[in-house]
Copies of this chain bind each other. A is one copy, B any other.
């Protein structure tokens, strides 16, 4: 993807005073870009801002990324890959005989974590800055989004068929995801409800059947 930076050293780099792992600097750029893109938006963030936040000079980001748009794309792509991994992990960790309501609860909970938890800049940047991507980039991201939403489609359609969710199934999915995605606009960490409480309230709002189960199913040994 663009100018490759795959000259990453194999072992531990020699600790010369300025020895710097190139992969680390690239990742630092991504984190800085993600934070600034989320705070100010893509167009309002200069590559100089990003360079300074990563402790570099104005021209240096272009050693790691072809241009500003490539930086945005890398943030978004990495965000979606991480989100897909976390989603898959959470679904796999469910007990084999978990019902649909439990699956939906897991999806909602991990989604709040992806949007609002620690290191959660990348997916909000995707949600709110995707229009700054060009068409090929959008298409690449759309594939990852489809995979992410497929899990939701399955769970919501099953629950909808069982009468646990009202309205049109497709519109219900769009509106439920919208309700969660909008939390980026108003949720402030450490103020008000916890992510667990958010998850509970969301499910009580959207799901009719009393899907509550006291606590987690993983009881102490």
Contacts and interface: CB of A to CB of B under 8 A. Distances in A.
Interface in A150-205: 165-168, 171-172, 174-183, 185-186, 193, 197-198, 200-205
Given A178-B179, A183-B178, A202 B171 contact: yes
A208 to B, nearest CB: 6
A40 interface: yes
B205 A175 contact: yes
A193 B172 CA distance: 12
Nearest to A174: B186
A167 B44 contact: no
B193 A132 contact: no
Contacts of A208: 208
Given A128-B128, A182-B178, A185-B178, A201 B41 contact: no
Contacts of A43: 41, 43-44
A63 interface: no
Nearest to A165: B205
A62 interface: no
A35 to B, nearest CB: 14
A131 interface: yes
Contacts of A175: 179-180, 182-183, 201-202, 205
Contacts of A182: 174-175, 177-179, 181-182
Contacts of A203: 167
Contacts of A204: 166-168
Q: Rank and list the top 7 A-B pairs by shortest CB-CB distance, nearest first.
A: A178-B182, A43-B43, A167-B204, A167-B201, A166-B204, A175-B179, A179-B179
Interface of A: 40-41, 43-44, 128, 131-132, 165-168, 171-172, 174-183, 185-186, 193, 197-198, 200-208
